[in-house]
Structure 1
Amino acid sequence: MQKLRGRVWIASFLALISLLGSALPQVALAAASQPAPAGNVTFKDESGDTTTPIKHVIVIIGENHTYDNVFGTYQPVHGQTVNNLLSEGIVTASGNLGKHVSKAQQETATDTKAYQLTPTKTGKYQTLPQPYTTYAQGQPQNVPDQRFPANLPNGPYQITKYVPYENSYIGDPLHRFYQMWQQQDGGKADLYTWVHETAGDDNGALPPKPTNQGALSMGYYNMSTGDAPFFKQMADTYASSDNYHQAVMGGTGANHIMLGTGDSAYYQDAQGRPTVPPSNQIENPNPKPGTNNNYTQDGYSGGSYSNCSDPSQPGVNQIQSYIHSLPYAPFRNGDCAPGAYYLLNNYLPGYTPSGQLSSGTPYIVPPQKFPTIADELSARNVSWKYYGQGMNDGKTPSQYFCPICDPFQYATSIMTTSKKNNLQDFTQFQKDVTNNTLPAVSFIKPDEIHDGHPASSSLSIFENYSKDIVNEVKSNPKLFKDTAILITFDEGGGYYDSGYIQPLTFFGDGPRVPLMVVSPYSKRGYVDHTYNDHVSILKFIEANWKLHTLSSRSLDNLPNPRTSAYNPYKPVNGPAIGNLMELFNFHHDD
């Protein structure tokens, strides 16, 4: 069966979708219609009790593009600065290589014994290998993509020199946890191509299967020549960040969980105690015998958990040693609990959208006991919803619906209570905008067709999807006047990025991804350099509605960054992440 998207569904995942449980209640929850507490207590909606003028936050989450992949040649409005491929002199505005391209040139390496975070280098690529199609729609599968040259110069290349921007499907770069750590090469970011060419995800196959990647990771879109025009317009008109990061070095599932909880899922029993997953579900990035860096067990039919508290586990000591060599201590509360095998990539959540236990495949994350931002919002009587495109109002979800993308489907506290009724189809969002019944906090997840994921979607499709939502909200002035729309991406999808990464724990952070903040209160044309990641969204929601942090482990406990005058990107009090407040001006008169 054809693999779908970079989180790459195994066949049994899609089979499960057709079995997803009973229908969600046909309920349109208004902003003030959270379930009443038990007893005779009268429900009081406190959604409007905020510390800023923002009464509605809408979070739109696309898929798999780094900041440089989208904003690599962005030129901000007068008075603003940006850190990207263009400003670093790595490329030119016309899409050619710049005089400082050596900063981004890719190297080869050797790693034949055990997983190495910084393997021995063996030289630079003379030319980059031809990008592959992987499973791109409308293209022959898993072959060199003949639309691209077979001798690309060593450095980032403009994708749209070879394919049109609008609705072009290109191959999907590799983007899993241990690969993402390794491609960074201890901060030098010079092993993207080599890792993608060698690591594989074939779970022990001998001889190893071809990687079918080429230099997919080094492609970027060019705003200076007209690519991503709406995103450019939003950055010019409102506010954006050039220092916002995926929170986990890994795929879709782990990053969405972090976005909803500030924490990571682990394999556990019904009481929430750590247990050992099946052996074929444990990661082993050590190279197979006789190979150069072809991982032993890492792929979409197994290999997504690691016991990162045990330095003897494959790959663990290399990452932990690197983190503990840094000039600051990592966030220990949010690191690896003893004996816990943490999810690093993608498995199905423990529940279907209707609250039934997931079944039909062994690759399911056990129901999780962690608290979520939805629990904290509900406890404070602040309304919220998760709108999943393709959820189909509780009927059997579309095959393009993303079950691994909903952080709340992993949580027992949501899915075994009436709070699960707040998971609704995207069509309900459109009704809520029209009827002025939008909740205080909305999470929007497009389906696989519209989410921008390489191969199964495109950046232009997600851009137009986001544009429709922004225009729809802006067409309701009563709503938009106190709304902040946050447009971001779950993770970089394996694409190259030149930005600084601040390790917080074993899990991440990962590379930069775009963030645009569309609001009447956004600073006009502002490019924020504050170090942020997905948990910064939680920190903003918590600060705005006076909520508690979610747990002692959650990364929302981290302080806001302080920086030095000569480097606004790197916190001097690390580990630290912002709360997005710097992107707003709450004192203007217009």
Structure 2
Amino acid sequence: MNMQFGRLALTSGCLIFALAAAANAGDAPPAPKGLEKIETIVVLYAENRSFDNLYSRFPGANGLLDFKPSEAPQLDRDGAPLPELPPIWGGLTPRGVEPAVDQERTAHLPNAPFAIDDPKGFNTPLSVPTTDLVHRFYQNQMQINGGKNDKFVAYGDSGALVMGHYEGPNLPLWPIAQRYVLADNFFMGAFGGSFLNHFFLACACAPRYPGADKSPAKGLISVVDPDGVSLTLDPNAPKSALERIPKFVRDGALTPDFYAVNTMQPPYQPSGVKPAPGGDPAYADPDKPSTLPPQTELTIGDLLSAKGVSWAWYAGAWQVALDGAKVEPNPKFQFHHQPFNYFASIAPGTAAREEHLRDGGLGGDKFIAAIDTGTLPQVTFYKPQGDLNEHPGYSDVMAGDEHLANLVAHLEKSPQWAHMVVVITYDENGGFWDHAAPPKGDRWGPGTRIPAFIVSPFAKKGFIDHTLYDTSSVLRLITERFGLPTLPGLRRRAGAIAAGGHQLGDLTGALDLATP
């Protein structure tokens, strides 16, 4: 074991359980009436889609059916309306993907949303991956532009693609949304990308890199304007979004006060950073700039463990990634999508790691086996492998949606189904535009609106839930159901939202718990 990281894990673990026990003595909120009927909570966590990108045409939802583009045009970097959208830089589809849509075909689109799968347009179906889009902490805030959502094009890196969406009814999850609950006012917990939003699902917190300015990561500290939310533009940056993508002085993984907000790698394997030469093979090389030091904040997992509630994070293709095995087709495992692998309390060699970090199998087969045998822990998170998570660039919507719909079919037949609540949502918007203004919150979010579904025998059938939610609402439901102490980040977010005159829900607005 890496001795420095090992001592940190031991010390952190003792502190965490002491804090959890102390908090549990006087901070457990009362569970709403009927919540005790829920015995199993399952969270299925997909990737990188805004609500409007997939569900803008869903009847009765707050989508684009009544949206008037002329009343809310995309603005250029100087604040003037764009006369047209720029081309999709590099083309709509990645190189080598058929049917190809090159950059030239995407020029001169109107300044308005457009359907990616329009048969009279690009005719690119749900089964074809599109080019990836920038989805980072500061850019997301610059695109949201105080809630006007009018600078997605200006501060994106894919030109017109940010305004693309799908017509929707062919989505395998569409009929599931019709049968159960679609939440159309659910926002991603943090600004930016997958890395930070996975932390919000685990702890409602932003990770830190203490002393980053004196570390190998010093070159990853972003240069930010005095407003604290905008990256500083390079003096030679293109003036207009019609010319090319923006250029910044330094767009790094870290804030000027050393919070990690864009992708950094786990300190433990599997990680995108290999072990140090001659070092412990279970650890990532701590001297590499992109290795995040082990984190010590309380997580929802720590609180569940302290209360004796069973829980697990199932990751598709986890064991394959851990073994470094090469299989075909490539599952495209994403190291930074595994938030609990960053925390000292669950470091290599701990009993917690063995118990709570589980292999979901290839294609989710081991997760499905746990569903079918009725052996899911009381709180279960599932992260699909990369080629099944709907992330643009390396995955397509259809494959991920079919996978999620198949999981729902298994869950509906599970021995645990009668007392189960399933939450299906996306980690973040993937850079895609959405017209709904996020509520004013704290420094970290909420960010852009994303799709979310509540699937359960207790779900209000065929219901569109307009309650204000964000990713932390999932943690609120878990906290209330199992009488846990409240994570500091949940308190901070609730206070910030309340200061803006709103209240975040706990997902019980989607449930009918009154009937026997």
Q: TM-score range by the shorter chain?
A: 0.7 to 0.9
Determine which of 294, 305, 322 is the counterpart of 2:247. Answer: 294
Q: CA deviation at 1:558?
A: 4.6
Residue pair 1:535, 1:556 contacting (<8 A) in 2 also: no
Residue pair 2:92, 2:106 contacting (<8 A) in 1 also: no
Q: CA deviation at 1:559?
A: 4.2
Q: CA deviation at 1:102?
A: 1.7
Task: Specify the code of the residue in structure 1 equivalent to 2:35.
Answer: T
Aligned equivalents of 2:395, 2:220: Cα separation in 1? 28
Equivalent residue for 1:101? 69
Change in 2 beyond 3 A, CA 1:275/1:236:
farther
Residue pair 1:69, 1:495 contacting (<8 A) in 2 also: yes
Change in 2 beyond 3 A, CA 1:585/1:510:
same
Residue pair 1:130, 1:151 contacting (<8 A) in 2 also: no
Equivalent residue for 1:322? none
Task: Specify the code of the residue in structure 1 equivalent to 2:401.
Answer: E
**Secondary structure at 1:359's aligned position in 2?**
coil
Q: CA deviation at 1:123?
A: 3.5
Q: CA deviation at 1:83?
A: 1.5
Residue pair 2:44, 2:422 contacting (<8 A) in 1 also: yes
Equivalent residue for 2:155? 195
Give the superposed CA RMSD. Answer: 2.8
Residue pair 2:39, 2:419 contacting (<8 A) in 1 also: yes
Task: Specify the code of the residue in structure 2 equivalent to 1:281.
Answer: L
Determine which of 120, 126, 130 is the counterpart of 2:84. Answer: 126
**Secondary structure at 1:179's aligned position in 2?**
helix
Task: Specify the code of the residue in structure 2 equivalent to 1:160.
Answer: D
Matches within 5 A, 1:108-119: 108-110=76-78
The alignment's TM-score, normalised by the length of structure 2, stands at 0.80
Change in 2 beyond 3 A, CA 1:216/1:75:
same
Equivalent residue for 2:113? 156
Change in 2 beyond 3 A, CA 1:122/1:104:
closer
Residues 1:382 and 2:309 are matched in the alignment: yes
Q: CA deviation at 1:265?
A: 0.1
Which range moves more in the overlay, 235-244 or 416-425?
A: 416-425
Q: CA deviation at 1:430?
A: 2.0
Change in 2 beyond 3 A, CA 1:482/1:557:
farther
Change in 2 beyond 3 A, CA 1:222/1:556:
farther
Change in 2 beyond 3 A, CA 1:218/1:558:
closer
Equivalent residue for 1:278? 217
Q: Deviations over 1:440-479 (max 9, x none)?
A: 1111111111110012101111110101111111122x22
Matches within 5 A, 1:91-490: 100-110=68-78, 121-130=79-88, 132-133=90-91, 136=94, 138-139=96-97, 144-145=102-103, 148-161=105-118, 162-196=122-156, 211=157, 213-223=158-168, 226-228=169-171, 230-268=172-210, 278-284=217-223, 285-291=231-237, 292=239, 293-298=246-251, 303-307=252-256, 340-353=257-270, 356-359=282-285, 361-392=288-319, 394-396=322-324, 400-416=332-348, 417-421=350-354, 422-427=356-361, 428-476=366-414, 478-490=415-427
Change in 2 beyond 3 A, CA 1:470/1:123:
closer
Determine which of 427, 430, 437 is the counterpart of 1:500. Answer: 437
Task: Specify the code of the residue in structure 1 equivalent to 2:389.
Answer: D
Equivalent residue for 2:243? none
Which range moves more in the overlay, 232-241 or 535-544?
A: 232-241
Q: CA deviation at 1:264?
A: 0.6
Aligned equivalents of 1:560, 1:529: Cα separation in 2? 21
Aligned equivalents of 1:575, 1:435: Cα separation in 2? 42
Change in 2 beyond 3 A, CA 1:215/1:373:
same
Residue pair 2:93, 2:102 contacting (<8 A) in 1 also: no
Identify unmatched segments of 5+ residues in structure 2.
1-33, 224-230, 240-245, 272-280
Residue pair 1:134, 1:172 contacting (<8 A) in 2 also: no
Q: Deviations over 1:59-96 (max 9, x none)?
A: 111111001111111104xxxxx21111xx22xxxxxx
* Fraction of identical pairs, as percent: 28
**Secondary structure at 2:173's aligned position in 1?**
helix
Identify unmatched segments of 5+ residues in structure 1.
1-49, 77-81, 91-99, 111-120, 197-210, 308-339, 562-569
The alignment's TM-score, normalised by the length of structure 1, stands at 0.71
User: How many residues in Structure 1 have an aligned counterpart in Structure 2?
Assistant: 446
